[in-house]
Structure 1
Amino acid sequence: MGIGQQSETLGYFREHAEDWRKKANAQDLLRVNVIQQRNGFVLHVIKSRVETRSALDVGSGTGDLVCAIARLGISATGIDFADEMIRLGRQQAEQNRLVQADFHCGSIFDFDLTTKRYDLISANGFIEYITPAQLEQFLDLAQRALKPGGSLVLGSRNRLFNMVSINAFTLEELTAGAADLLLREAVALAGGASLDELAESDTVRLQDTETTHPYTGVGVSTRFQYTPVQLMKLVIASGLCVEQIYPVHIHGVPPAFKQQQPEVHVAIANRLQEFALDGISLVPYASTFMLHARKE
């Protein structure tokens, strides 16, 4: 799946780079700006740190996060394998005279991480487009590339959301026999379980590498999902300590209603997002989540 999935991903983002740039900057009453929510959490992590001098954004897209970090006076590097995305990122940095922003076109797996260590590495919309085996490889690379005390911030599509979306994704989990463990994890999160308790809990097996799914709004046939506990276990196994789980795009209504009444959904979702920093109980209702881990 890896090569075919990434070829499909590259083709999609080359073709839709300009659309992605517009999405990142949109203020739309009919659509939740997930890109801004994810970027906002990364910036929150940076501001909560004692010091951040260098940052690497993996799957940087059109460069909005890299440029936002550079505006804070931090040396920020973005890497993306879609050349059109990188072109738009460089254009934005040049237009805003952000000399601290730097962009590289290529794969993180080919990028030289031996000559520099980073205070922060982010990957907001990246891990869904690589296989679980590649994710483990990436986590190992990130762990070694971070300075002591450095932060890794990951974004993931939330597999737990399949249990509350009440749609074809829910039926797939029922058919696969995964519903029981998914619901148990959701109950633990909704009940305010600690990170230590979550890390010790059981979870479902990872999605098969040949998995496909209903259309998600992005023209890529496989976009892997993880539960918070699944991702926690992988991150901990790489040698990092999990600090926080943060919900993104919190749903107060099911997707079917969202399609019928998008303005209502956006109003509810944006209101709920105001509680996200201390809202681990909201994670099961979020279609995406962020995980912040630290290197000791």
Structure 2
Amino acid sequence: MDKNVFNKAVKFWDRAASSYDKEEKNDEEKYQKTLNQLAQYLKPEYSVLDFGCGTGLIANEISPLIQQVHAIDFSHNMIELAKAKAQEKQITNVQYRQATIFDDYLKPASYDVILCFHILHLLEPPERAISRMHELLKPEGLIVSVTPCMAEKPLMNGLFSVLYKLGLTPKINPLKLQDLKKLFTDGNFEVTDHHLLPKTSNEYFTVSKKQNIYSSQLKK
């Protein structure tokens, strides 16, 4: 991502941190269904990376279901709020850190599941992050994502483009579902599930399984 674009994004999310939880839980039905679907892919022995964790809304909720969570976000304010909430709830198996997916402290083949909720459409290019997640996952590990496919709503996408130019929103990479699926398949993942979240017209819950690079090349 361009350095200026990255810096603008950091500033935007630092400003938005205090209202982030309220916005995320604005539709309780969608939020609970997302958690219920995610829980199906978690096991008590799992190590999970929450990429773009925000204020820890998801990481804190899933902490009783798994062994540990490493939760990262590039926003300092998001991470500080997440740490405070985890401390208040006495959650000890979630480690929050201000970082990007490319930080060296994240080790290859360390995670059973990587979560990326509402993050892929903000990355440019997203292919680098997909490749990095492939590296960080254990064999047959999963990416579980929620992604707004803005290209499926041209009027909304146009509005966000204007808002970005005014400095009111981060830059958004417009995707369609087929683009999202191609990101994963081109990155040596098998998309095993994808569907719209309730009461949304363009937010897709997807599950993608890591494939061995050599095996995936043979299939092609």
Q: Is TM > 0.5 for Structure 1 vs Structure 2? A: yes
Correspondence 1:161 to 2:152: yes
Counterpart residue number, 1:289: 204
- Structure 2 distance, partners of 1:127, 1:3, is 17
4+ aligned runs moved over 6 Å, structure 1: none
- Structure 2 distance, partners of 1:101, 1:24, is 20
Counterpart residue number, 1:241: 190
Identity of aligned residues (%): 19
> What is the aligned counterpart of 1:100 among 89, 93, 98?
93
- Aligned residue for 1:113, secondary structure, equals coil
Counterpart residue number, 1:142: 133
Correspondence 1:109 to 2:102: yes
The 5 A counterparts of 1:248-267 are 248=197, 250-251=199-200
Shift of 1:43: 4.9
Shift of 1:246: 2.1
Shift of 1:140: 0.9
Q: 1:240-261, CA deviations, whole angstroms, 9 ceiling, x for partnerless residues?
A: 111111213535xxxxxxxxxx
Correspondence 1:14 to 2:14: yes
Counterpart residue number, 2:214: none
- Aligned residue for 2:54, secondary structure, equals coil
Shift of 1:50: 6.0
Counterpart residue number, 2:163: 215
The 5 A counterparts of 1:1-296 are 2-26=2-26, 32=27, 36=31, 40-41=33-34, 43-48=36-41, 53-114=46-107, 117-132=110-125, 135-162=126-153, 167=155, 169=157, 213-215=161-163, 219-248=168-197, 250-251=199-200, 286-296=201-211
- Structure 2 distance, partners of 1:49, 1:73, is 7
Whether the aligned pair in 1 keeps the contact of 2:181 and 2:191 (CA below 8 Å) is yes
- Structure 1 distance, partners of 2:30, 2:151, is 20
- Structure 2 distance, partners of 1:51, 1:92, is 22
Alpha-carbon RMSD across the aligned residues, in angstroms, is 2.6
Distance 1:250 1:159, change over 3 A: same
- Structure 2 distance, partners of 1:42, 1:240, is 22
- Structure 1, unmatched stretches of 5+, are 27-31, 173-211, 252-285
Q: What one-letter code is carried by the residue in structure 1 that aligns with 2:128?
A: Q
Q: What one-letter code is carried by the residue in structure 2 that aligns with 1:157?
A: P
Moved more, 114-123 or 57-66: 114-123
- Structure 1 distance, partners of 2:120, 2:152, is 17
Whether the aligned pair in 2 keeps the contact of 1:24 and 1:35 (CA below 8 Å) is no
Whether the aligned pair in 2 keeps the contact of 1:43 and 1:69 (CA below 8 Å) is no
- Structure 1 distance, partners of 2:80, 2:14, is 10
Higher gyration radius (CA)? 1
- Aligned residue for 1:215, secondary structure, equals helix
Shift of 1:112: 2.6
Shift of 1:33: 5.2
Distance 1:220 1:249, change over 3 A: farther
Alignment: residue pair count: 208
Whether the aligned pair in 2 keeps the contact of 1:235 and 1:241 (CA below 8 Å) is yes
Distance 1:96 1:232, change over 3 A: same
- Structure 2, unmatched stretches of 5+, are 212-220
- Structure 2 distance, partners of 1:58, 1:22, is 20
- Structure 2 distance, partners of 1:249, 1:83, is 31
Distance 1:88 1:116, change over 3 A: farther
